Structure 1
């Protein structure tokens, strides 16, 4: 059984009240569908993810915000304290998604010129400090190349039952090394499932969009209605591909569509992840193939409607049944 997160909507193009309504809807859909949590991603174009996390906690009883945190935006002490504070106020888990920042332009705007692999070296220290602050019953002293603490401690450190889950996002070798050193799950944007060897994704998570329907024709009609052709989007994608140093962006840009596996929304700059499109059995077979490769968690793209999660659940249940039959 996969742990399934959804994704919070972007704040771009909405005013405050409209955004809050949209977020409340997706939070309710996620809870109704049994989702573990909701990814709140962050870049220079979006509102603060911690305030979005507060709204998610207010609007739900079980949905855990998965808050994107990175060294340029907030210190490791501040990130740990914010997570501990939300857990204290709500008696709930808050999950943290460690990221380095994928846009060189956004990083440069904030005065950060650290190169790609070194950003993961810094993220390793960043995550280590957060882990120690959240886990240690004693004040933390840490001396590293990027961070130094002297007998620092958190007010209201969460109990083990509410200790935040840390994950990391990335597709490069540097991200793999960082996640392994921290001992945490790494989320990546996957290639087609059948490109992987068995167990190649052991302990990993993936981020995907799902458009599943009773028939393949219905699924593809829904997919093309939602993501029509967009020459301007294709141009923007090509520009971003030239400007970014993100490995996952370059990897996906070089991949071709493969049946159920569909990259048109990514290559028209409508979203950042691949999509699986097909009838329930087709999508389920693809999800089961990822699980066979070792995938444990899934972040679904922003749902357009509650019906999306209803259809996704049917495909996910069929995938679980297929994995169970195969293991038996």
Structure 2
């Protein structure tokens, strides 16, 4: 039976398909398939997105729990969508009904037009301050105490959460660590700071912040043969001028530091072929860099990230079971190197 611990010292998460990709029964089947594949190939959990275009992530998380044995939904939580009490109730209710853990991906921002539509004018760094208060309240409620909180963004008095959550189901917390505000929030929340990585050669062979819990968001296309991997990559993500223009337009209305950082890396990498590949990002097909090559090449790149202190990996949405098989082969190679 899969237990999410196939890769010693590492935690691997896949990503759930988005509801804009299919409707109704077809979307439900996509979620079922990806969740089952993810568990089969050793993923600890699966990221579930949230934004103004998508179905409710908590309903998707429930479906994932119903279709798997141990896979942990990593649910995106945006403060402007619900009060921290409502989010805590979702966590405790899923624990009460299924005896299963969820994890929380705390979102400070999102698409700028989404925030405008919701009349959220909070500046970028202040959204992280709000996120800290939100997470503190959720944790205190989930720990079972009656909570009184007098903060800048939230005020509650003697609030108690039912049903109670078993303490062994307390959720892990993730947050974007691309900006200093995000990293400060991660430290304040004792959360995993997740960022979109630079090429591994730019990282020292030691943790940048030894005490920090750190993860990265990345896609993987790996095969036994390097040329086959690049053929697959070119077919899945052809250079798309229309997508490039859309990316340029998105940049102009985004206040996300990670978006600007990746765009700079795209410009620097143009015309070069290396394991670290930015065409999918540049063509607006995904929001993370990809690692492309044979198993050994990609495992070496991942291994350098691990030695720099990044032990949690959130993969892009898998297009097929086969791709998760190939990604699993890479992480098995990395794990062998860690225990040998």
**Under TM normalisation by the shorter chain, which class is it?**
over 0.9
Q: Distance in 1 between matches of 2:132 and 2:171?
A: 17
Structure 1 outlier segments of 4+, above 6 Å = none
Residue 103 to residue 141, structure 1, CA distance change in 2 (3 Å): same
Match of 2:292 among 266, 277, 281: 277
Unaligned runs of 5+ in 2: 1-8
In the TM superposition, residue 322 of structure 1 has moved relative to its aligned partner by 2.5
State yes or no: 1:192 paired with 2:199.
yes
Match of 2:66 among 58, 63, 70: 58
Normalization by structure 2: what TM-score?
Answer: 0.93
Aligned residue for 1:145, secondary structure, equals coil
Match of 1:261 among 265, 272, 276: 276
Say if 2:148 and 2:155, in contact at 8 Å, map to a contact too.
yes
State yes or no: 1:208 paired with 2:218.
yes
Deviations 1:253-295 (A, max 9, x none): 0003361001110111101111000000000000000000001
Q: Distance in 1 between matches of 2:208 and 2:264?
A: 20
Say if 1:142 and 1:149, in contact at 8 Å, map to a contact too.
yes
State yes or no: 1:310 paired with 2:325.
yes
Say if 1:98 and 1:167, in contact at 8 Å, map to a contact too.
yes
Match of 2:31 among 23, 32, 57: 23
Deviations 1:98-156 (A, max 9, x none): 01122221101001111100111111111111111112x32011000000111111102
Q: Distance in 2 between matches of 1:199 and 1:123?
A: 26
State yes or no: 1:320 paired with 2:328.
no
Match of 1:157 among 164, 170, 180: 164
CA RMSD, Structure 1 to Structure 2 (Å): 1.1
In the TM superposition, residue 201 of structure 1 has moved relative to its aligned partner by 5.6
Give 1:7's aligned residue: 15
Say if 2:41 and 2:328, in contact at 8 Å, map to a contact too.
yes
In the TM superposition, residue 247 of structure 1 has moved relative to its aligned partner by 0.4
Which runs of structure 2 are paired with 1:216-231 in the superposition (5 Å)? Answer: 216-231=226-241
Aligned residue for 2:46, secondary structure, equals strand
Aligned residue for 2:80, secondary structure, equals coil
Say if 1:99 and 1:170, in contact at 8 Å, map to a contact too.
no
Say if 2:176 and 2:183, in contact at 8 Å, map to a contact too.
no
Unaligned runs of 5+ in 1: none
Say if 2:65 and 2:72, in contact at 8 Å, map to a contact too.
yes
Q: Distance in 2 between matches of 1:271 and 1:45?
A: 16
Match of 1:292 among 304, 307, 326: 307
Which runs of structure 2 are paired with 1:57-76 in the superposition (5 Å)? Answer: 57-76=65-84
In the TM superposition, residue 305 of structure 1 has moved relative to its aligned partner by 0.6
Q: Distance in 2 between matches of 1:79 and 1:9?
A: 22
Match of 1:138 among 123, 132, 145: 145
| Residues matched between the structures, number | 324
Q: Distance in 2 between matches of 1:208 and 1:157?
A: 36
Normalization by structure 1: what TM-score?
Answer: 0.96
Q: Distance in 2 between matches of 1:300 and 1:260?
A: 16
Q: Distance in 1 between matches of 2:328 and 2:21?
A: 29
